[in-house]
Structure 1
């Protein structure tokens, strides 16, 4: 679902409320839940020719995906289910950086489980929701403006992830391309079949 303006908050809150309180965050491939992860899916047919081009989202501590397409998507990655994911370490988030960047964030509006700002999960979610708040009124521009990769980059910059605050779309595109894991064998085929067909046709035409 995609939430215009602030409606995405209600969608996120309802999803959080539907999950068992205190449940362990773990990967659930069947429901496409990847806690503390960056997720990616190809944009066909662009990805057939430029396989590093795709759509990206970031998951909260429960694995609920949030992405940006001009509106904030909640648990419904645009262009299809994730085919690649990259799990990050919430313990590499800077507490001071997150609290400074998210000061004034309305936790009650997002129904976060705890206000213990020493918890890695809480800090992670604060940064992710901060990015969504920032992007909910932005215009989408894939080439030189705000896009899905920028949305993820702002979240990581708010975290000061790995002590780095200059995350950007180029770094993230390369990171997921070279280090991302495939969600399944089928997702590998989905990602590369079109590119393989294009290469075969190109070789045939030029032979």
Structure 2
């Protein structure tokens, strides 16, 4: 998961202390959601006004890029963790910096839900990249044994999903939602 600057350059938290620019770590996007810079809260924290003038649109783009700069600066000091401090945390941190949509509580679950429900596929290949692995695993699993497969699949997916929700709603809130810094 990544987020673009106002000029359309994609940014991604790729590894320890590393922000990738211009390309996602795991390849081209398969799904996307177009965000509107005018939905950022104003500098005083008030909700945005609809139908901004050209000057206000430029100010929104500058605010967008300033939030991107703050987020990049914060994550360049972080160690990457696949389950906690990752590209999803990078994007949610950015949206919280921006107070996008008047919200300050963006997290990985909100992002996953937003992409699943309102994301658009980049094309036929994006659709195939999204669903082919799942379909292949299901077909092979059902072919070799329904109960064994269902037990093994649940044994892997359930703990990962449980961790995802527990971390997002319990651990990260208690820690203050700040990215974890690595050693100095």
Q: Distance in 2 between matches of 1:97 and 1:72?
A: 28
Which residue of structure 1 lines up, in the alignment, with residue 12 of structure 2? 67
The within-5 A match list for 1:164-203 is 164-203=103-142
Which residue of structure 2 lines up, in the alignment, with residue 42 of structure 1? none
String of CA shifts for 1:148-198, please: whole Å, max 9, x gaps.
111111110111111100111121122112221011111111121111111
Larger Rg, first or second structure (1 or 2): 2
String of CA shifts for 1:38-68, please: whole Å, max 9, x gaps.
xxxxxxxxxxxxxxxxxx1000111100010
Q: Distance in 2 between matches of 1:194 and 1:168?
A: 25
CA contact (8 A) 2:11 2:21 kept: yes
The within-5 A match list for 1:45-194 is 56-70=1-15, 71-96=18-43, 119-144=59-84, 146-194=85-133
Runs ≥4 residues deviating over 4 A? none
Distance 1:97 1:76, change over 3 A: farther
Q: Distance in 2 between matches of 1:133 and 1:148?
A: 14
Q: Distance in 2 between matches of 1:142 and 1:194?
A: 20
- How many residues are treated as equivalent by the alignment? 135
String of CA shifts for 1:109-164, please: whole Å, max 9, x gaps.
xxxxxxx89611111111112110110110011223x2111111111011111110
Q: Distance in 2 between matches of 1:196 and 1:91?
A: 39
Q: What SS class does the counterpart of residue 177 from structure 1 fall into?
A: helix
Q: What SS class does the counterpart of residue 68 from structure 1 fall into?
A: strand
Distance 1:203 1:158, change over 3 A: same
Q: TM-score, normalised by structure 1?
A: 0.61
Q: Distance in 1 between matches of 2:63 and 2:40?
A: 7
More strand by share: 1
